Amino acid sequence: MGLPCSPVVTQRFLDVARTITYKKGMPNQRIIYVPHPVSGRPAEVVRNHLLGNDPVTGKPILDELIAALTKPLNAEEKKTGFVTRPARPRLLDPDTPTNLQRMMSKNGWTDGLPIVLPTEERVAAMLKGTSHGRDEIVGTMRPSPPHEAWEYTVEMVAANAVMAGAQPEHFPVILALASTGVTSLFSSTTSFARMVVVSGPIREEIKMNGGIGALGPFNEANAVIGRAWTLISKNLGGAIAGETYMGGQGNNLNYNNVCIPENEEALPAGWKPLHVQKGFKPGESVVSTFTGWSLINHAGRAARDKEAFKQLLVSLSASGMGMGGSQAMILLDPLVARDLRESFDTKEKFSAWLIQNPGAPTGSPGFGSAIEILVVGGEANPCLTIGDFTYVSSASIDKWR
């Protein structure tokens, strides 16, 4: 703008504010801090904050605001040029496996669980899972729009895939995920979760599980692909707790990002697989991402009574889940899907019928369609899982074979 400007930020976001202004090339930005929180607080409380002292500097807030706009710039504040950033070595300093595990965990480069160390040999083996060269740029990722984007190559993604415990046959899926540039660890204080759904022939090729226990810890491919996305989001996408990730309580779903294949073989006649709904051919292998916060397992009346679905959706919306109840996703066990097929010959018709009802999710701007329907599960019980997730993007896995 070319105008003197000063941001006012609550104290809790000190590290975030300093990080963002530094990475935007304004390391000396004159930021004023007020006590936290202010949102929704009584006006009198906020007024008293403003008449008091900056909790970081101890100086009167009003004096600081005036000074921020009027005190002449010093030499540092007038500087131009580039900030020197540490060089990125390709290899870390050699150390014992025990020390490397501890170092990586301490630095926040893992999910807190032991990782498989990315030695040259293991990464070379992983790279055999793709025809793409190790130095090819896969994409960039940032924790959220204000933050800087980090760039990464096929080799960097391979290192994280090794760390997650993946095998070379999983690598095209992981590369496809990385190519979306979508982080699994979004910055928001509301603690977002993500979901990843794999579609097409690759599900069988790499033996993913869309049957009994699909959402649980019972399958290597489901586990390591979801885990790799978390590690990629930290190490290649810049998600750092307290600095660029501010989820107040965090979200347990982030460990694996609900990585599942759709049980396409169990889809009722006329119900298209997810990737076909998104414009891909049935024979293509595709990875899709979703964003939301929560999943609820429901084995109640709605699973046997389509009218009860309406009540379930309205309850979800009324509870405020998912951006004030604007979005939803339903994972149907094949038993439930078959029952619903008697009334709805496509997923879209079922979704449209649900949205008609007052109080049902209707979508929100920028967050895509209101209700996504997937079929997953092993027909042990006519259950369903409902959540406040909405579709984000899809990417071809075949491109990365």
Q: Which of residues 111-150 bind other proteins (CB under 8 A)?
A: 117-120, 123, 141, 144-146, 148-150
- Binding segment (CB under 8 A) for other proteins, from list 79-87, 253-261, 284-292, 392-400: 79-87
In whole angstroms, the minimum distance from the beta carbon of 221 to other proteins comes to 21
In the complex with other proteins, the residue whose CB is nearer, 73 or 352, is 73
Per-residue contact flags (x/-) with other proteins for residues 180 to 199, judged by CB under 8 A:
---------x----------
Within positions 272 to 331, which residues make up the interface with other proteins, using CB under 8 A? Answer: none
In whole angstroms, the minimum distance from the beta carbon of 123 to other proteins comes to 5
The count of residues interacting with other proteins (CB under 8 A) is 90
Smallest Cα–Cα separation from 327: which of 349, 375, 360, 356?
360
How many Å apart are CA 258 and CA 194, to the nearest integer?
A: 7
| Residue of 52, 97, 216, 320 interacting with other proteins (CB under 8 A) | 97
| Residue of 33, 152, 293, 389 interacting with other proteins (CB under 8 A) | 152
In the complex with other proteins, the residue whose CB is nearer, 236 or 302, is 236
Smallest Cα–Cα separation from 382: which of 300, 308, 288?
300
How many Å apart are CA 164 and CA 226, to the nearest integer?
A: 9
Give residues with Cβ within 8 angstroms of 191, minimum separation 6. Answer: 247, 248, 249, 250, 251, 293
Residue 208 and residue 219 in contact, taking contact as beta carbons nearer than 8 Å: yes
| Residue of 52, 57, 59, 71 interacting with other proteins (CB under 8 A) | 71
In whole angstroms, the minimum distance from the beta carbon of 65 to other proteins comes to 6
**Token duo for residue 272:** 């298209």
Q: How far is CA 390 from the centre of its chain?
A: 12
In the complex with other proteins, the residue whose CB is nearer, 149 or 355, is 149
Give residues with Cβ within 8 angstroms of 56, minimum separation 6. Answer: 11, 14, 33
In the complex with other proteins, the residue whose CB is nearer, 49 or 347, is 49
In whole angstroms, the minimum distance from the beta carbon of 358 to other proteins comes to 27
In the complex with other proteins, the residue whose CB is nearer, 1 or 269, is 1
The 286-292 sheet, strands edge to edge: 259-261, 193-199, 286-292, 390-396
In whole angstroms, the minimum distance from the beta carbon of 196 to other proteins comes to 20
Within positions 207 to 266, which residues make up the interface with other proteins, using CB under 8 A? Answer: 231, 235-238
Which amino acid, residue 40? G
Backbone angles phi, psi at 298, to 5 degrees: -130, 115
In the complex with other proteins, the residue whose CB is nearer, 58 or 365, is 365
| Residue of 19, 130, 160, 219 interacting with other proteins (CB under 8 A) | 160
The answer to the question of residue 13 lying near other proteins (CB under 8 A) is yes
Residue 176 and residue 395 in contact, taking contact as beta carbons nearer than 8 Å: yes
Burial class (CB in 10 A: 0-12, 13-18, 19+), 133: exposed
Smallest Cα–Cα separation from 139: which of 239, 202, 12, 232?
232
| Residue of 19, 129, 155, 253 interacting with other proteins (CB under 8 A) | 155
Per-residue contact flags (x/-) with other proteins for residues 46 to 65, judged by CB under 8 A:
xx--xx----------x--x
Q: Is the peptide bond before 37 cis (omega within 30 degrees of 0)?
A: yes
| Residue of 82, 106, 249, 283 interacting with other proteins (CB under 8 A) | 82
How many Å apart are CA 50 and CA 273, to the nearest integer?
A: 55
In whole angstroms, the minimum distance from the beta carbon of 226 to other proteins comes to 17
How many Å apart are CA 157 and CA 162, to the nearest integer?
A: 9
- Binding segment (CB under 8 A) for other proteins, from list 22-30, 253-261, 348-356, 374-382: 22-30
The answer to the question of residue 98 lying near other proteins (CB under 8 A) is yes
| DSSP category for residue 150 | E
In whole angstroms, the minimum distance from the beta carbon of 111 to other proteins comes to 12
**Token duo for residue 385:** 């899982």
Q: How far is CA 312 from the centre of its chain?
A: 26
Other residues' Cβ atoms within 10 Å of the Cβ of residue 270: 11
In the complex with other proteins, the residue whose CB is nearer, 2 or 58, is 2
The answer to the question of residue 269 lying near other proteins (CB under 8 A) is no
- Binding segment (CB under 8 A) for other proteins, from list 87-95, 265-273, 298-306, 308-316: 87-95
Half-sphere exposure of 36 (CA within 13 A, CB side): 10
In the complex with other proteins, the residue whose CB is nearer, 69 or 352, is 69
